[in-house]
Structure 1
Amino acid sequence: MSESTTAGSNSDSPAGRVTRRALFGASLATAGAAAVGAVAGRATAPDPAPAPSTEPFHGARQAGISTTAQSHALFLSVDVARPDRATLRDLLTGWTATATALTAGEPLPETPGTAPGFSAHTDFATDLEPARLTLTFGLGPSLFDERFGLAAKRPRHLHPLPEFPGDVLNPAWCGGDVLVQICADDAQIVSHAFRALRARMPGLGRLRWTQHGFLTHPADGGTPRNMFGHKDGTANPRSGTAAFDRAVWIDSPDEPGWLHGGTYLVFRKIRMKTAEWDQLPLAEQDAVIGRRRSDGAPLHGTHELDPVDLESRTASGELAIPASAHIRLVHDIPMLRRSYTYDYGALIANAGGTTEEPHVHTSGTPEHTHGGHDQLDAGLLFAAYMNNPPAQFIAAQRALAAGDRLNPLIQHTGSAFFAIPPGIPQGGSIADTLLS
């Protein structure tokens, strides 16, 4: 799945502050600065500059897209509680104020009408750094139905995704009016941010689904690996390049003005059958993907970043990258994959399969009893940003669904699609231009 999934882009955000005020307590003393990932130097050398702990919330683009992928993510999908613009505006305005405080490490604003003796502060994140927290907001196709009178402002491509062959979607993990992608380098900060957003939802929004993921970058800064052990995100365009801008940011005159500078997000929950995968010979695993698991190089190449040559052949005349290999089918379809691994353990009700899924074993597999691997729900939270979904994700997914060698080893069990507005100026609110 290395061509069609995951994160790994260079951040283009400026360095932020490195301290975080205590959220609540006997005093508002400044917490100590955190040196995230700092390497100690020699006694005679100056101390290295600490890594920034904040990502700016306000700006021309929303954070959490070109931002270097953080270690933890939570995707939150919500439906607006009542069919009127005032409710939608109140939800987004409240969430803007909450996100502004959270990402800066500032005290949370109190909810209007909070009774004396109560507070929005929970102390759950007191004395913790923001850990590069970002909150990225998206608007679903359902938001542009008759409920809110926004049909005339619908983005050109924002319609429900088509059904793809092989999908086993659970409706409980699909769709939603509004999405928030919460990312940080600290799982507790992610949880705290979700809790703070949820506290602003009563009367305004109803929780539809959440999905939690994690991502670890190798110490050498290389490409992360997915649950199948393959490097994942090799083909991503790099932030700050013309290729990135062409693939991600919206500037088409065919799109409504309020969306210019934004993008689209496709979210898919993909269950990966790790037990079945682990029973395949290494050569077969590599042939399924079209890259070597060991170093990420294309099967004809030497290094991970070698150009993919679809015409290359082996000494025997066969295609070096098989006709049904994953990377062949999605080659030259650019998009930003910013995905996360998930592992929910044995949750068969959520796995999208049956308790006795049909599967095959390789020749020579000894007689055995099964260990319950059909109950495992682990895989990938695929999150891809792009500016032309029909030519990007939809084209790629149709090609994959029709002939990907990987298909017997994965299941698409959740699906959602959102327009991501541009960044929010100081003093503004999410989608102000949409609702004005």
Structure 2
Amino acid sequence: MTNDEKWFEKKIDRREFLKKAGIGGAGLALGVSGASAFFTNKVKEEKNFADGDEEISFYGSHQAGITTPMQKNVYFVVLDLHSTDRAEVIQMFKNWTDYSSKLVDGELVKKDGSNALLPPSDTGETVGLNPYRLTLTFGVSISFLKKMGLEKKRPQAFREFPPFPKEQLQDKYTGGDIVIQACADDEQVAFHAVRNLVRKARNTVTMKWSQSGFAAIGDRLATPRNLFGFKDGTANVTKEKDFEQVVWCDSNDWMRDGSYMAVRRIQMFLETWDRTNLQEQENTFGRYKDSGAPFGKKHEFDEVELELLPVDSHVRLAKEVNKPIYRRSYSYSDGIDERTGQFDSGLLFLSFQKDPDSFVKVLTNLGAQDKMNEYVTHIGSGLFACFAGIKKGEYIGQKLFE
């Protein structure tokens, strides 16, 4: 059973526990000692669930942080290679593997020696905290392959994005060689992980851009809302068999069991949106704001009927191409835009798909018609190949270098 399947099973178990906790005869049905053990274990699970102190392994057939149910926070960083020495880059990935396996378990990256005149091995800001479901996800870009002389290993599906209508990309938020996505239910835990990984690799990489983000998650399996107040990610698949069809690569190369990460930094004009009436907001999405249901339906996950949606609505245009992607986006708020005096806020759009062409087709169909264009601008972009999962004894990206 995968980590993700365990998550969904745990959610069902949790609901069953709550039901049984409200049934007076539950203890009699289980027997006194059996009931005591049952409720003791369940209470412990509930506490771990509430505290975020749950085990998510760094190792597995797929990288965590892709189909893992979303955490509340992300710290996302894009890096450029400072060195292209093969041995040095491989050692960096080996070091990151060692560090990552400890970070997700809530351990220090390295214990200090006896010499107090040396800097601490771990920066220390998470001492006393649990891992808060920390996941670390790594990927590389086409430019990484070129710089490392590995372009012959570039999968056919791994192609640069074409220009998209209405985008206004800024160089500082575009490109880069390596991506690290750290997600956790505590923002300091996520930042600490990236800080220590970058610190360890300072001779090999430099930071290009980074973004912290947050997701409005109450129930962990509920769809979070973006800063426009609408649910974001309703159409995501949830079952492992569907992940195989949508997310995980099945090519016979180093990307098998990996996934392609599409990144868009989207600036949202909140002040303009906040002056827009509710009907127009719902027409922009093609969904009801409160329930998340598509037009003409009552519930969030009801089937979308395209003919019931405005022709320029975001959902209709995205659905028309019938190319599912797996969204995992986070909101951001970076203070005030000095030029306009308005919020510098938006969406760190992240999606995973087995073929980047699915994302290209969706964004191309949205094109200039999408009514959402009145309220957003795409200012950052990137495409990264996220490696398959790491087995114990292996290092991140090992199959690429073999």
TM-score by length of 1: 0.79
Structure 2 stretches lacking a partner, 5+ long: 9-16, 28-35
2:119 alignment counterpart: 118
- Any residues of structure 2 matched to 1:229-308 within 5 Å, and which? 229-240=229-240, 242-253=241-252, 257-308=253-304
- Checking the alignment, whether the CA contact within 8 Å between 2:95 and 2:200 is kept in structure 1 is yes
CA distance in structure 2 between the aligned counterparts of 1:123 and 1:109, rounded to whole angstroms? 11
1:34 alignment counterpart: none
TM-score by length of 2: 0.86
Structure 1 stretches lacking a partner, 5+ long: 1-9, 16-37, 312-319, 349-353, 356-371
CA distance in structure 2 between the aligned counterparts of 1:219 and 1:421, rounded to whole angstroms? 29
CA deviation profile, 1:100-122 (whole Å, cap 9, x unmatched)? 1101122213699x996332123
- Any residues of structure 2 matched to 1:219-238 within 5 Å, and which? 219=219, 221-238=221-238
Count of residue pairs brought into register by the alignment:
368
- Checking the alignment, whether the CA contact within 8 Å between 1:97 and 1:109 is kept in structure 2 is no
2:193 is matched by which residue type in structure 1? A
Please state how far the C-alpha of 1:263 moved relative to its aligned partner.
Answer: 0.8
1:173 is matched by which residue type in structure 2? Y
- Checking the alignment, whether the CA contact within 8 Å between 2:7 and 2:69 is kept in structure 1 is no
CA distance in structure 1 between the aligned counterparts of 2:354 and 2:360, rounded to whole angstroms? 12
Work out whether 1:179 is the aligned partner of 2:169: no
- Checking the alignment, whether the CA contact within 8 Å between 1:81 and 1:87 is kept in structure 2 is no
1:57 alignment counterpart: 58
The percentage of aligned residue pairs carrying the same residue is: 36
- Checking the alignment, whether the CA contact within 8 Å between 1:227 and 1:379 is kept in structure 2 is yes
CA distance in structure 1 between the aligned counterparts of 2:277 and 2:295, rounded to whole angstroms? 15
1:7 alignment counterpart: none
| SS of corresponding position for 1:11 | helix
2:30 alignment counterpart: none
Equivalent position to 2:335, from 336, 341, 345? 345
| SS of corresponding position for 2:367 | helix
Question: Greater helix percent: which structure?
Answer: 2
Equivalent position to 2:314, from 326, 336, 347? 326
CA distance in structure 1 between the aligned counterparts of 2:258 and 2:221, rounded to whole angstroms? 28
2:305 alignment counterpart: 309
Please state how far the C-alpha of 1:432 moved relative to its aligned partner.
Answer: 0.8
CA distance in structure 1 between the aligned counterparts of 2:202 and 2:273, rounded to whole angstroms? 43
2:354 alignment counterpart: 387
Query: Does 79-88 or 131-140 show the bigger shift?
Result: 79-88
1:24 alignment counterpart: none
Query: Does 414-423 or 117-126 show the bigger shift?
Result: 117-126
- Any residues of structure 2 matched to 1:42-191 within 5 Å, and which? 46-47=39-40, 48=43, 49=45, 50-51=48-49, 52-109=53-110, 117-145=118-146, 147-191=147-191
Please state how far the C-alpha of 1:333 moved relative to its aligned partner.
Answer: 2.2
RMSD over aligned CA atoms reads 2.6
CA deviation profile, 1:333-385 (whole Å, cap 9, x unmatched)? 2011011111112034xxxxx64xxxxxxxxxxxxxxxx33xx2111110000
Query: Does 157-166 or 396-405 show the bigger shift?
Result: 157-166
1:31 alignment counterpart: none
Q: 1:57 to 1:220 in 2, by over 3 A?
A: closer
